[in-house]
């Protein structure tokens, strides 16, 4: 029975990944800063909470990381922890940088220190690419990060690449484009839209306030992206992969799809609030996942319209 340690198991990606690994016969451990008080709400929602051993770990504390890895003795580590909100990173740039870069470095150094053949998956981000215009970004597209979150993710990506090359560790990063699901918290705009549309359709008064709805994103389905993470660690050699659908839609299109699905005219219920505009927002984001298709056999099955409808159905 292989053993996996998921850092950030309580989040959307961590929960779906845990579910996937359990289905493949893994012994799964998950971490949070304080496992004794964490509700692990997403694990409960997926019905797998009692099948996962949880432990407290502070990724910013090397001793804490070393102790947990030594105790668990995992075959695979999935680093999905750290501050995950692009918008919040503008308000908490130091916290964002430390939780992502220092946390990743501590994991890498702990694996090197222990000397066991542990494979590490690191959660990269399409935000690292910045604004690529109409060009779909692949593994050779240069990074031009435009947020504190993206800067931190870019630094972590190069840390992982450096440990792979300098110390011959099995480390890889998945450069994932936007991926959504019913497990998204409401502070993410897609879930905010879905929740508001459903409430308005049920008769709740009020308007949905949004920022820049002209931005375009490549939206995928989170459970599929969890599968891509797993596949990366099953390869003979470690490598980095872009994970995306290759399809780009505007946020306005997502709004239209959600509201029309619940039988509403979005224009009667949505207001634009400039306070929600970010200092440096990416206009267009699109990914080219051909390498993942060729080497991992991975291809996105669900696209924006499917995702919008599935998120509505889940509420």
Number of Cβ within a 10 Å radius of residue 116: 11
Beta strand ranges found along 44-126 (DSSP E): 53-56, 76-79, 119-123
Q: Where in the chain is the domain with CATH 3.40.50.720?
A: 3-180+220-246+287-295
Output the pLDDT for position 87.
80
Distance separating alpha carbons of residues 124 and 152, to the nearest angstrom: 10
Beta strand ranges found along 155-248 (DSSP E): 171-176, 179-180, 208-210, 216-217, 220-221, 241-243
Q: Whole-structure pTM over 0.85, yes or no?
A: yes
Architecture of domain 3-180+220-246+287-295: 3-Layer(aba) Sandwich (3.40)
Output the pLDDT for position 221.
97
CA angle 289-4-28, nearest 5°? 115
Q: Where in the chain is the domain with CATH 3.90.25.10?
A: 189-216+248-285+302-314
Percent of the chain with pLDDT over 70: 100
Q: What are phi and psi of 216, to 5 degrees?
A: -120, 135
Angle of helix 148-167 relative to helix 103-114, nearest 10 degrees, comes to 10
> CB of 288 within 8 A of CB of 241?
no
Number of Cβ within a 10 Å radius of residue 21: 23
> CB of 229 within 8 A of CB of 214?
no
In tens, the pLDDT along 32-62 reads 888 888 889 999 999 999 999 999 999 999 9
pLDDT at 84 over 90: no
pLDDT at 279 over 80: no
Token pair recorded at residue 47: 């019905």
Catalytic positions: 125, 127, 149
Architecture of domain 189-216+248-285+302-314: Alpha-Beta Complex (3.90)
pLDDT at 278 over 80: no
Distance separating alpha carbons of residues 233 and 78, to the nearest angstrom: 9
Distance of CA 141 to CAs 80, 100, 130, 284, Å? 23, 22, 10, 14
> CB of 152 within 8 A of CB of 161?
no
pLDDT band at residue 138, thresholds of 50, 70 and 90? Answer: very high
Find the mean pLDDT for residues 6-35: 95
Find the mean pLDDT for residues 234-242: 97
Q: Which of 183, 170, 165 is nearest to 225 (CA)?
A: 183
Find the mean pLDDT for residues 60-77: 96
Q: For the chain, give the mean pLDDT.
A: 94
> CB of 197 within 8 A of CB of 259?
yes
Distance separating alpha carbons of residues 63 and 109, to the nearest angstrom: 11
pLDDT at 96 over 90: yes
Residue with the two structure tokens 């008064």: 205
pLDDT at 202 over 90: yes
Q: Which of 81, 31, 28 is nearest to 50 (CA)?
A: 28
């Amino acid at each position: 029975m292989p053993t996996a340690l998921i850092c950030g198991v309580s989040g959307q990606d961590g929960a779906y990944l845990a579910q996937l690994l359990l289905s493949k016969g893994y012994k799964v451990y998950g971490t949070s800063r304080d496992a004794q008080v964490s509700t692990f709400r997403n694990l409960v929602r997926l019905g797998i909470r009692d099948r996962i051993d949880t432990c407290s770990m502070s990724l910013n504390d090397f001793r804490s990381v070393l102790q947990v890895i030594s105790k668990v003795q995992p075959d695979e580590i999935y680093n999905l922890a750290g501050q995950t909100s692009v918008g919040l990173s503008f308000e908490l740039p130091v916290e964002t940088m430390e939780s992502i870069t220092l946390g990743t470095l501590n994991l890498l150094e702990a694996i090197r220190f222990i000397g066991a053949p542990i494979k590490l998956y690191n959660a990269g981000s399409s935000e690292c690419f910045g604004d690529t215009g109409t060009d779909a970004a692949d593994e050779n597209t240069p990074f031009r990060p435009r947020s504190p979150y993206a800067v931190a993710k870019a630094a972590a990506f190069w840390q992982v690449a450096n440990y792979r090359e300098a110390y011959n560790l099995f480390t890889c990063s998945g450069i994932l484009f936007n991926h959504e699901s019913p497990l998204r918290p409401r502070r993410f705009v897609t879930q905010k839209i879905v929740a508001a549309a459903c409430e308005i359709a049920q008769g709740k008064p009020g308007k949905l306030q949004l920022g820049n709805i002209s931005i375009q994103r490549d939206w995928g389905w989170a459970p599929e992206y969890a599968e891509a993470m797993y596949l990366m660690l099953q390869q003979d050699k470690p490598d980095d992969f872009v994970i995306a659908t290759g399809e780009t839609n505007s946020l306005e299109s997502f709004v239209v799809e959600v509201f029309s699905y619940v039988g509403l005219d979005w224009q009667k219920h949505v207001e634009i609030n400039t306070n929600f505009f970010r200092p440096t927002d990416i206009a267009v984001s699109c990914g080219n996942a051909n390498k993942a298709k060729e080497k991992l056999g991975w291809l996105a099955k669900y696209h924006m319209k499917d995702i919008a409808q599935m998120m509505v159905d889940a509420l």
